[in-house]
Amino acid sequence: MSVIVRNPENQLLLLSKGADSVMFERLSKEGRMFEAQTREHIRNYAEAGLRTLVLAYRDLDEEEYKAWEEEFSRAKTSVAADHDALVDAACDKIERDLILLGATAVEDKLQKGVPECIDRLAQAGIKIWVLTGDKMETAINIGYACSLLRQGMKQIVITLDSQDIDVLRKQGDKEAIAKASCESIRKQIREGKSQLISAKENSVSFALIIDGESLSFALNKNLEKSFLELAIDCASVICCRSSPKQKALVTRLVKMGTGETTLAIGDGANDVGMLQEADIGVGVSGVEGMQAVMSSDFAIAQFRFLERLLLVHGHWCYRRISMMICYFFYKNIAFGFTLFWFEAYASFSGQPAYNDWYMSFYNVFFTSLPVIALGVFDQDVSARLCLKYPLLYQEGVQNILFSWPRILGWMSNGVISSIIIFFFTTKSIIPQAFRRDGQVTDFEVLGATMYTSVVWAVNCQIALSINYFTWIQHFFIWGSIIFWYIFLVIYGSLSPTVSTTAYRVLVEACAPSVLYWLATLLGVISTLLPYFSYRAFQTRFRPLYHDIIQQKRSEGLETDDTPNELPHRVRDKIQHLKMGLRRS
């Protein structure tokens, strides 16, 4: 970053600051007097975990500045497709032949809870990459501080700090430097892959560390595929001295190359491109301004809040939305197929099974509020247990709750429920004398009885599916059922020209009949039995991860807050999930 100023002596100065890997290349021969000492200072600062910058300046004369200003203005006002390239080229012309001033080092401590947050995210099976503008030594120190790098982890370092490259740099042949650099990166990536292959049987973890200059070559079309394969096989990846553009390119490479969902988190203006390129951008508000927050999808105050955003709210929201959508399929199929069976029973004569207002109000008043409560309030386990067992998050990553088998299972449950309701209702009340005077059931009573069974069944079904009850769920579920009876009384009391087939059907026909209440009760119980039996079998013999935790909590065994002491079945489930992650 550079700025041109005029001092009180009317002298034009170009003041520049940046990473050492970029600044040393732009120094003039006369401006390298203290280069060796500055490099040594920077290395010492970086090993101490400090963030370093190099400062340089240059004197400008009036003619040179005016000529450059015209060129720079033309580039800025250009509307061509290569606008950014023109601006960069103009800047490169003035940012050269600099005189080294020195270096700065700033301590930037990790926020509270960052190591623990990264450790929990890693336990959840989330691959974590660090894209930073710091020097390699600083980035490595930060990697150890935040538990991204661990003792015993082997490091694959890709860099262009070699004697051959340094010789070519001194000669100034840019084409030779680019060719040699590309071959060096290709060779280092190949060697890294061979290390991974040879260490597979030993279960040794690897960390990939690459600097910005090497990254610019690794992101070329010829090398990006092999670089991505190497990076994916490593447990941790650190890209240091990365420019904002490189951060965005790496994010795009991971997103497009793997097809996985990517999340980027940053707190500065140099993270904006990365945040916008990722599927999900999380901005951290802080002392570095609000640019990252304004460009992100979510904003948090500290990095450590990311674990709660993902492991707690992410898990809950995935479960709520999955259950809500599957339940929508279920309740509409259960209702719609009773119409189909009735039409088949009536030989497709066009005889309606339900009153028009019954069908209009089904998704508006009688079944809508409980599913909204499910999508807003349901929790399979508490927030404390979500953080204690991070692998719960894998239910969402592996899409266990919204897979095609699960969706088809809920749809099949809806078809089965409609069959049970229709045939149980028709076979139980049609052959019998429905009223005290011996009258049999007519289509109006049959429709009201079937509809009552459907309302009861779908609302009781959601009561079986909910894990976390509040008074709101109770109010919505049982209130929807009660509202059906209130509606039937009020609507049935209107004149026959308005209420048509619902005229006094509850007060005079259904309510006085014991058969109506008995058919409804037994029909609803029979409808709920298949799902209840399936869940009982699954919980006992093939439990999901949250089922095990719920069972331990109900037995009073889930009282320890230490995440390392897990119940035996939980440890087995974790091992199974880890094996699945390795295979994927």
- Binding residue positions: 17, 51, 132-134, 241, 247, 267, 270-271
Binding-site members for Mg(2+) are 267, 271
Other beta carbons within 10 angstroms of residue 352's beta carbon come to 16
DSSP state of 150: -
CA 424 – CA 529 distance, rounded (Å): 14
The DSSP element (H or E) to which 568 belongs, if any, is helix 568-583
Tokens, residue 389? 């067992």
Residue indicated by tokens 């105050």 = 301
Chain-centre distance for alpha carbon 351:
49
Binding-site members for ATP are 17, 51, 132-134, 241, 247, 270-271
CA 227 – CA 193 distance, rounded (Å): 9
Specify burial of residue 445 (Cβ count, 10 A radius: 0-12, 13-18, 19+): buried
Q: Tell me the sheet residues that pair with 289.
A: 286
**Closest C-alpha to 126, from 495, 436, 392, 411:** 392
CA 425 – CA 442 distance, rounded (Å): 12
69 CB contacts (<8 Å, ≥6 apart)? Answer: none
In sequence order, what E strands does 192-344 have?
206-211, 236-240, 263-266, 280-284, 298-300
Q: Are 206 and 235 in contact (CB under 8 A)?
A: yes
Please provide residue 43's backbone torsions phi and psi, each rounded to the nearest 5 degrees: -65, -40
Q: How many residues does the chain have?
A: 584
428 CB contacts (<8 Å, ≥6 apart)? Answer: 515, 518, 519, 522, 523
DSSP state of 321: H
Which of helix, strand or coil describes residue 158?
A: strand
DSSP state of 285: P
DSSP state of 365: I
